[in-house]
Amino acid sequence: MPVIQSAKKQMRQALKRRERNAPHRNELKTVFKKQMKYITDGKLEEAVKFMPTAFSVIDMCLKRNLIHKNNAANKKSRLALALSKAQKGGVKAEKAEAKA
């Protein structure tokens, strides 16, 4: 436990921030996994419809400084590339890539 007053305040602030940010981080992980599941399962129509939602959640986390801008760009790129490969080459190619 901190002894100095400013350290105590910093700890309180960190706890509040963690509580405030946790739902958004969890949503980001859930949305990313859900989108990849749609793609690997071959549910391409759902994946295409869900893509704007996934991008929106990624952008929201970026805006809140929960992830770095390069991390956000990387996540968007991975989702878009996976969907593109699934649409072009079918689901088998995507499942092989997901395992690798």
> Is 11 contained in some domain?
no
Provide the number of structural domains found in the chain: 1
Cα 26 from chain centroid (whole Å): 8
Q: What is the pLDDT of residues 36-53, one digit of tens each?
A: 999 999 999 999 999 999
Rounded to an integer, the average pLDDT of 58-65 is: 96
pLDDT above 90 coverage of the chain, percent = 86
pLDDT band for position 89 (cuts 50, 70, 90):
confident
pLDDT(99) > 80: no
> Is 44 contained in some domain?
yes
> Is 94 contained in some domain?
yes
> Is 86 contained in some domain?
yes
CA dist 6 → 9, 10, 11, 37 (Å): 5, 6, 9, 45
CATH code assigned at 68: 1.20.58.110
Beta-carbon-side half-sphere exposure of residue 77 (alpha carbons within 13 Å): 6
> Is 1 contained in some domain?
no
> Is 37 contained in some domain?
yes
- Domain ranges, residue 27: 23-99
